[in-house]
Amino acid sequence: MLIAAATILVGFIILIWSADLFVAGAASIAENMGMSPVIIGLTIVSLGTSAPEILVSITAALSGAGELAVGNAIGSNIANIGLVLGVTVLVAPLLVHPSCIKVELPTLLIVTLGTGILLIDGRLSILDGSLMLAALAFILFQMIRSQSQDEALLEEAGEEPLPHLKPIRAWLTFFFGLLLLIGSSRLLVWGAVEIAQQLGVSQLVIGLTIVAVGTSLPELAATVASALRGHTEIAVGNVIGSNLFNLLAVMAIPGLFKTMVLTPYVLERDYAAMTIATLMLAAAIFVGRRRAAAPAGHSYVGRSVGVLLVSFYGLYYYWVYVTI
């Protein structure tokens, strides 16, 4: 048990560090090839925060621990809303950009509903996984096109700090980060499976709890940092983008290897909790449009919402505990 716990801890530390290296290398390569810093911020850096989840999902699927990957995807989404956004709002109230209210948030609601419909038969098949990835590609294309034309978001994204590495160092950093991501994800999955077996709980529960929280830590750090710099519009968009990526890529991966039969708890407890958290966030954002502190077209999300989201996150963990 101690060896497995130590392996998980080491895996998390290396995973988070390697994700930063991977993003720094990839962003610098893109910059050296002439890509705009704004587009790099909207694409590579935003998607790079989901690199830990995607590598853990691939490793879990290859190791026959598909439930761990599904739990990681759903648990990360719940953590992103309840923990990441909840804590961030407690640190600094957030302003939500009109494009996020009109485009990104409705997209997340539609994807949450659509993915739930695909899984309602209790199976995650190759067809389901393929449809999820196709939907992700379409959504990313549309979002990049719309955001790259939004002057306010472009200005805010352009102010986000980006790494600037010379070509050789950029490629070395990229490959070193990728190798560490692969190695640390294998350590993490091995330790998580061992813990699940020794505690007598399912891989799903470990994915929903330990792994989900660990892989959400980079998102928490990035979102709080953005909020403290006053870039709150980017912070909300990053969380919504990460949740879309988790639903349509991280959770899709196990289904691409083989059809998975999901335990009833996945839909009845975990997917339901994720949907409730998403609806709570949407309601808070729409209600926040009427707040006096909200500029025209924006939404103001105050600290009371942070208390609500963090409280829900704690109640969800209690729900998982009593139903193990």
- Tens digit of each residue's pLDDT (9 = 90 or more) over 117-143: 999 999 999 999 999 999 998 987 777
Whether 1 has a pLDDT exceeding 80, the answer reads no
Rounded to an integer, what distance in angstroms lies between the CA atom of residue 223 and that of residue 47? 13
| Entry pTM | 0.83
pLDDT band at 40 (very low <50, low <70, confident <90, very high): low
Give the number of other CB atoms < 10 A from CB of residue 154.
Answer: 17
- Tens digit of each residue's pLDDT (9 = 90 or more) over 51-66: 777 888 888 888 888 8
Whether 152 has a pLDDT exceeding 60, the answer reads no
* Structure confidence at residue 44 (pLDDT): 66
Whether 42 has a pLDDT exceeding 80, the answer reads no
Whether 160 has a pLDDT exceeding 60, the answer reads no
Rounded to an integer, what distance in angstroms lies between the CA atom of residue 307 and that of residue 256? 38
**Please, which residues have CB within 8 angstroms of residue 118's CB and are 6 or more apart in sequence?**
124, 128, 131, 132
Q: Is 294 helix (H, G, I), strand (E, B) or coil?
A: coil
Mean pLDDT throughout 71-91? 90
Residue with tokens 């709890």: 209
The larger pLDDT score, comparing residue 3 to residue 43, is at 3
pLDDT band at 221 (very low <50, low <70, confident <90, very high): confident
The larger pLDDT score, comparing residue 308 to residue 17, is at 308
The larger pLDDT score, comparing residue 150 to residue 67, is at 67
Kindly report the average pLDDT of the chain as a whole number. Answer: 82
Q: Angle formed by the axes of helices 272-288 and 105-119, to 10°?
A: 160
Tokens of 150: 């939004």
Q: Where are the alpha helices (DSSP H) in 268-324?
A: 272-288, 303-322
Q: Is 115 helix (H, G, I), strand (E, B) or coil?
A: helix
Rounded to an integer, what distance in angstroms lies between the CA atom of residue 232 and that of residue 144? 19
Whether 153 has a pLDDT exceeding 60, the answer reads no
* Structure confidence at residue 324 (pLDDT): 75
**Please, which residues have CB within 8 angstroms of residue 192's CB and are 6 or more apart in sequence?**
8, 65, 68, 203, 206, 207, 210, 211
Using a pLDDT cut of 90, give the percent of the chain over it: 23
Residue with tokens 């919504």: 240
Whether 182 has a pLDDT exceeding 70, the answer reads yes
- CATH architecture, domain 2-322: Up-down Bundle (1.20)
Cβ atoms of 159 and 38 closer than 8 Å: no
Rounded to an integer, what distance in angstroms lies between the CA atom of residue 291 and that of residue 93? 12
